Amino acid sequence: MIPQTEIFQNDTPQATVRQPLKTVGNTAISEPTSILLIYLSLKYINVRCILASTRTSQTGHRTGHSDHRREQNQHKTTKPSSSKGIHIMANITIFGAGNIGSAVAGIAVKGGANVQVIDRNPDKATAAAEGVTGAKFGEAAITGDIVVLALPFPAYDEAIAAYADQLAGKTVVDVSNPIDFTTFDLALPEGAKSAAEYVASKLPQSNVVKAFNTTFAATLASGENDGAPTVVQLAADDEAAKKSVAAFIEAAGLKTVDSGALKRAQYLEGYGALQIILGVTEQTPWTAGFKVVK
């Protein structure tokens, strides 16, 4: 079954597109999106992909969604699991106090986590969300067991180089959608298949999770999309790391979808890029997003 897309703006149905979602941008972006939708339809059965606009008036960047059902058979991991079973890691560090970093910080605080935000501007870091501890990049030590890289992708190398030793053994969350806005192509380092896999290659002692890149910050901050909980799509090789990220998201009342192994980040990044292109070309508002309904 090929998922259908229904387009909502201002909560009002505008159109139904009964064809694969391959109509925007180049095939490097649109084909991975179609593959991901087919994968989810096979995994979750009877899935439709809905493009909806949340009621919030905030603006922002990406974050993720879809309704959630656990896969019965877990994916194999490519490295030993960092822990057994589901563990909610109560200490979270977020690099970046921009739209997405602030939205994730708010979610983490709402879910009961102790949250540290690291930014070049410590005052901005402190103001990212009520209840966080702000710290200055390059000076502060990481306090979290989960570390969220809520930075522009070009800033990743500097952050990884500065904190590589401290990131060893951590769950590292990549939220990026690396796009060349002059061409709307995905802009990845030579040889990299996805930003998340690139991060994993730079941090072999860390467990990398792709998350928050398939929605905008507005729907993440509001916690809803078209009247339903915002849903975050996750991809990772380490099941315990993936579940720990899902746990803090769900503790705040949002939903998650397990999109599979870290290699699925290639599709999630095409998916996220497509949403950004739709926003940049003013085909959808920055409060719009996809959700999966069963």
Q: Residues 167-194: pLDDT tens digits?
A: 999 999 999 999 888 888 788 888 889 9
Q: Which residues of the chain have pLDDT under 50?
A: 1-27, 45-47, 54-87, 89
Domain ranges (residues) in the chain: 91-216+233-256
Q: What is the pLDDT of residue 125?
A: 98
* CATH placement of domain 91-216+233-256: 3.40.50.720
Number of CB atoms found within 10 A of residue 120's CB: 12
**Interval 22-72: pLDDT, tens:** 333 444 555 565 555 555 555 554 445 555 554 443 334 443 333 333 333
75-87 CB burial, b ≥16 within 10 A, e <16: bebeeebbbeeee
